Amino acid sequence: MKAFMIEKYGDKAGVHAAEMPDPQVGADDVLVRIHAAGVNPLDLKLRDGAFKAFLPYRLPLVLGNDFAGVVVRVGSAVTRFAVGDEVYARPGKDRIGTFAELIAVHRDDVAIKPATLTMEEAASLPLVALTAWQALVERAQVRPGQKVLIHAGAGGLGSIAVQLAKALGAQVAATASTAKIDLVRELGADIVVDYRQQDFETVLDGYDVVLDSLGGENLAKSLRVLKPGGKAISVAGPPDAAFARELGLNAILRLVMSALSFRTRRRAKRRDVTYSFLFMKAGGNQLRELTALIDAGKIRPVVDRVFPFDQTREAMDYVEKGRAKAGKVVVAMT
């Protein structure tokens, strides 16, 4: 099969197309012919080796973290899926590789594709939709009437998180640039702060939950808009010891993670709020929950641009340079 891969960690020049062996299919796996794959900032970080200390992939590595496609074979223990099913998924972190013609995925990580979406639209969702679900439903347990702030509300994660928070009954605020304010309002945000014109910290206060995708000073300010007991959840802030435990890392790496997040956690404690780092996990059951919301019209994908598969490097470069106007970038096989 054809795939886009790296042979060593480094910059974009190392990403290239190659012929790879077709995936082996275990008893619990489904083999999927990929029709489209999402391009995520995570792909860039994995390419550069940003996580190699605690996600030590064996090289060469096929990149890509979510997809939509058609089942072409099922393992002997698989009963939920059949050949011909249209599915989508975020593969488990140890089995990534969606910039390819085929992928074998564990049955627990796959869900039937939303009937209302094209393959390209469906491929844009798994990683960001699961991240939003695990942040807002699992970790924050957002309830109707709570106040939720979503940063970068027009981005890949933000555009889905705004809609999910609204579907959960929250009062939703989001940050966005001037050109994207109308889109974020259309997605359901009650308040949109133009970060080019205003500092969100000066106009927002008393929030129950903040979902941060920017880190740095943005995260520090986010702690200050929370009310006592509030929760800041970040996908871009410093990793913490809880994350290290989830990965089963050794005691030394757990201490390192704890040290990295010490300053942020101390700031949070002083304000009587909590901070946690989120590295999303694959989950077919959660995708099925999201599918119901999608087919009910409560969540819709926002796709910025679709590249042909042979331009996967160009698609990654487009994401890396911040050219996407809103939502996700996708590569399509056809």
Q: Which of 238, 170, 266 is nearest to 161 (CA)?
A: 170
Lowest-confidence segment of 17-31, 59-73, 251-265 by average pLDDT: 251-265
Q: Does domain 2-125+301-332 have CATH number 3.30.365.10?
A: no
Contacts of 43 (CB under 8 A, 6+ apart): 63, 64, 65, 99, 316, 319
With a cut of 80, say whether residue 108 has pLDDT above it: yes
Asked if 92 and 130 count as a contact pair (C-beta separation under 8 A), the reply is no
Question: Which pLDDT value is given to residue 189?
Answer: 98
What is the band of 252 on the pLDDT scale with cuts at 50, 70, 90?
Answer: confident
Question: Which pLDDT value is given to residue 244?
Answer: 83
Average pLDDT, the chain: 96
Which fold is adopted by the domain 127-277? Rossmann fold (3.40.50)
Share of the chain above pLDDT 90, in %: 90
With a cut of 80, say whether residue 334 has pLDDT above it: no
Question: Which pLDDT value is given to residue 247?
Answer: 80
Q: Which of 237, 217, 228 is nearest to 268 (CA)?
A: 228
Range(s) within the chain of domains with CATH label 3.90.180.10: 2-125+301-332
- Tokens representing 191? 């308040």
Asked if 46 and 57 count as a contact pair (C-beta separation under 8 A), the reply is yes
With a cut of 90, say whether residue 104 has pLDDT above it: yes
Strand pairing partners for 271? none
Q: Note the pLDDT tens digit of each residue in 120-159.
A: 999 999 999 999 999 999 999 999 999 999 999 999 999 9
N-term to C-term CA, the chain = 15
Q: Greater confidence, 247 or 152? A: 152
Asked if 193 and 216 count as a contact pair (C-beta separation under 8 A), the reply is no
- Tokens representing 136? 């807002």
Element (H, E) at 151: none
- Tokens representing 133? 């679900």
Range(s) within the chain of domains with CATH label 3.40.50.720: 127-277
Asked if 187 and 163 count as a contact pair (C-beta separation under 8 A), the reply is yes
Question: Which pLDDT value is given to residue 242?
Answer: 86
Share of the chain above pLDDT 70, in %: 100
Instruction: Using a cut of 0.85, tell me whether the model's pTM lies above it.
Output: yes
**SS3 per residue for 123-150:** HCCHHHHHHHHHHHHHHCCCCCCCEEEE
